[in-house]
Amino acid sequence: MTRHFSDGELDCLRGLRQEFLEREQGQVERGDYWESDDELLLYDETFGARIGWKWDAVLDELEARARLPRGRVVLDWGCGTAVATRRYLARVQGVERVHLVDHSPRARRVARALIEQQHPGLAVVDGLPREAPDVLLVSHVLAELAPPSVEELCQLAGRSQATLWVEPGSKSSARALGEARERLAATLEVLAPCTHRAQCGALAPGLDAWCHFFARAPQAVYTEGKWAEFGREIGIDLRSLPYSFLVLARRGPELSGPGARLLARPRLQKGRAFLTVCDASGVRELDFLQRVDKELFKEFEDLAGKPLLFDARIEGKWLAGLERRMS
């Protein structure tokens, strides 16, 4: 049976959308703005699903690069409806305990119920664990955190064995995440998205860049009426899923891997593409001619959900050749 949203549900979703936009513009912490469990469940079905698709893209890359952190104790900080935890648990075995932190008691209660529904018997606990968590999950929080809370979160990441942190992909949130990376990379290993330990090139003075990527929307977005209705009524292009992310772990032996990666999306013209490329030397705008690799050029039309990591041969402003690598 086709799912249709009621007028009341659409009004609620519009209100949530406006709330999110205001938070992103102001970066001011808010109290418990959830009015009911039903509102949280509606959020989880819609906006939360979109966040889940972004987490899927991050987890896909980490698995492909053999860099997905695992552990027994997981902390979901700013959990909301625990989208991050549920996506993580769908990939990782051996988790024994999940801790939920959120300013909303209602959100924690709903999050716990959703986790227990999918993973009966798993211990789900309110609040911080006594020990440092094995895996810290952080999702879509920077837009509503004041500087003292960002500081608290960075300290927590510094104590954790590993951190997976996903943000919406807006310029402001991506650059704020890059600033957190700069601080944390002094003592932690950056597993992704970076291919290097150098400073974040996107933060270089005078450079108008930000580290973001695009996830792939599931087929249901194109075939199910509820998603067409949601996108139309709320004013969201569900095919566009920008995100930024940061994955850190306790420092170990230096990791080998590709030298560079593509940021954002290629900008195509006839016979050439303009690429934003990040490597240890910084972020650069490079040209790539179709004749260099016609098959790869064709792929540039649709790179959503497929990170392009490579070793590059660069000649001036031209990307003269690349060898794809995923590890």
Asked if 145 and 27 touch (Cβ cutoff 8 Å), the reply is yes
The predicted pLDDT at position 25 comes to 67
Asked if 244 and 54 touch (Cβ cutoff 8 Å), the reply is no
Confidence class for position 327, pLDDT limits 50, 70, 90? low
Taking the C-alpha atoms of residue 17 and residue 120, their distance in angstroms, rounded to an integer, is: 32
pTM of the model: 0.94
Confidence check: pLDDT of 28 > 60: no
The predicted pLDDT at position 235 comes to 93
Token pair for 158: 């510094």
| 218-231 residue pLDDT tens | 999 999 999 999 99
Confidence class for position 302, pLDDT limits 50, 70, 90? confident
Taking the C-alpha atoms of residue 259 and residue 280, their distance in angstroms, rounded to an integer, is: 8
Taking the C-alpha atoms of residue 121 and residue 230, their distance in angstroms, rounded to an integer, is: 34
| 185-204 residue pLDDT tens | 999 999 999 999 899 999 99
Residue type (1 letter), 11: D
Confidence check: pLDDT of 301 > 90: no
The predicted pLDDT at position 26 comes to 61
Asked if 73 and 134 touch (Cβ cutoff 8 Å), the reply is yes
DSSP β-ladder status, 162-167 and 135-139: parallel
SS3 68: coil
Query: What value does the mean pLDDT take over residues 24-49?
Result: 83
Asked if 174 and 210 touch (Cβ cutoff 8 Å), the reply is yes
The predicted pLDDT at position 144 comes to 87
HSE (CB half, 13 Å, CA atoms) of 252?
9
Average pLDDT, the chain: 93
| 137-171 residue pLDDT tens | 999 999 889 899 999 999 999 999 999 999 999 99
Percent above pLDDT 90 for the chain: 84
